[in-house]
Chain A
Amino acid sequence: QKEVEQNSGPLSVPEGAIASLNCTYSDRGSQSFFWYRQYSGKSPELIMFIYSNGDKEDGRFTAQLNKASQYVSLLIRDSQPSDSATYLCAVNRGYGGSQGNLIFGKGTKLSVKP
């Protein structure tokens, strides 16, 4: 079982719709969770992070974490064509003295159609 799994997509949504991106992780001891956006040919850009169970909202983005189900998701409301990118889920296990070790999923490619 891969440590962090994401549906590779592509996920296609119409402009203005809600895009829902999902991620599961295998290590129950994982402590912090991140969503990065990566445009083609660019480096990953941090858009959300979450540590506690529940929802965290930032503008059009909502991250949801369910540690019991080992599941983290990202909702993008009012999707725009500029949101078209690959979204990477990353998990930090946060133990062993290492906090700079992120385990990434392969990413979900999102396409927002005008």
Chain B
Amino acid sequence: KAGVTQTPRYLIKTRGQQVTLSCSPISGHRSVSWYQQTPGQGLQFLFEYFSETQRNKGNFPGRFSGRQFSNSRSEMNVSTLELGDSALYLCASSLAQGLHTEAFFGQGTRLTVV
């Protein structure tokens, strides 16, 4: 069974640009969550999508947005990039049924803003 696939693996962008990251969940998983990981803040929740609807959102500015498609694939967009957006962006998929909320992470996208 294929795992969670994130593309691209690495990105270098300039301040002010925008970026789109992609995540394909494990087959059958309908929940996709996005996290930002930095050395200082650790892993922080960005948002969760379930059946194409944003179900929960973390404490990030509106420059961070996402969407989910009917095949459960998800994209995350960051507009007007800032240097502080440099981080490892991780996507996790989950069955999200009852208490079975185990989340499995993709390899991440390493974003560097210069």
Contact = CB atoms under 8 A, between A and B. Distances in A.
Interface of A: 31-32, 34, 36, 42-46, 49, 51, 88, 90, 92, 94, 96-107
Which 3 pairs show the lowest CB-CB distances between chains A and B? A100-B48, A98-B56, A100-B33
Contacts of A88: 42-43
Interface string B30-56: 011101000000111100111000011
Contact of A45 (B32, B94, B105): B105
Contact of A32 (B58, B88, B99, B105): B99
A106 B99 contact: no
Given A98-B55, A104-B42, A43 B32 contact: no
Given A32-B99, A51-B99, A94-B101, 17 more contacts: A31-B99, A32-B101, A34-B103, A42-B107, A43-B90, A45-B105, A96-B56, A98-B48, A98-B55, A98-B56, A100-B32, A100-B96, A101-B45, A101-B56, A101-B58, A102-B45, A102-B92
A99 B101 contact: yes
Interface string B79-103: 0000000001010101010010111
Contacts of B43: 44, 88, 90, 102, 104
Contacts of B31: 99-100
Nearest to B97: A99
A80 B91 CA distance: 29
Contacts of A99: 31, 94, 96, 101
B102 A94 contact: no
Given A44-B43, A88-B43, A100 B99 contact: no
B104 interface: yes
Contacts of B32: 100
A93 to B, nearest CB: 10
A45 B10 CA distance: 20
B101 A100 contact: yes
